[in-house]
Amino acid sequence: MTIARAPQQERSRLTRERLLSSCIDVLARDGWAAATVAAVAENAGVSRGAAQHHFPTREALITAALEQMFDELTTSASARPGGLPAPGPDRIRAVVERAVAIYTGTEFKAALQVWAAAASDPTLRELILPMEEKFARAAHRMTVLALDPTGEDERVHRLAQVTLDLARGLGLADTLSDDSARRALVVATWSDQLVEVLGDR
């Protein structure tokens, strides 16, 4: 029995993941109001019955999708410095680009829809504030440690905040139109600043 059930559980897990990922896509592309169980199921190519088996209500689906979304944002923010260039200007530039990448992906565009909805929905705000704070801490920690492995330089802590707030602003500017050319110049200007201040680390 255990052997026979395993593939079905696996299929069920995969269906759930497809629905969550579809929910994030629908939020980012079509907005908060459009992310219903039916629309998310259709977008995922999953039957409405199967979707409702996993998520009986829109609230259950949205809550699970938000957890997944912030988990993914936190995971990409927590990437080990392993993939970065050796200490020096190239590493600083890579750290800034990594921060900006977090805020220009699908998860951020979905998160923006959720933030806009949460502005007038205290229950939703209570739900996402702890997730948002956990993600912000992870992003800050990753940025600090990539620039200063000791994590003890107060100046680096502050410059990492500036980097992430700038990245958030660039992410917002990218939601209406393709802002990549202008963004590249802003990223280069800020990276040059950081290189000048932090020197050869």
Footprint on this chain of a copy of itself (rule: CB under 8 A): 28-34, 109, 112-113, 115-121, 125, 128-129, 132, 158-159, 161-162, 164-173, 175-177, 182, 185-186, 189-190, 193, 197
* Shortest spacing between CB 182 and a copy of itself, in angstroms: 7
CA angle 61–98–178, rounded 5-degree value: 75
CB of 50 or CB of 136, closer to a copy of itself: 136
Q: How far is the CB of 101 from a copy of itself (least distance, A)?
A: 15
Least distance to a copy of itself, CB of residue 161, Å: 5
Closer to a copy of itself by CB, 59 or 196: give it. 196
Tell me whether residue 16 or residue 26 sits nearer to a copy of itself (CB atom).
26
Q: Which two tokens stand for residue 73?
A: 């944002």
- As a whole number of angstroms, the distance between CA 164 and CA 91 comes to 16
What HEC string does 62-110 produce? HHHHHHHHHHHHHHHHCCCHHHCCCCCHHHHHHHHHHHHHHCCCHHHHH
Q: What are the tokens at 13?
A: 């897990």
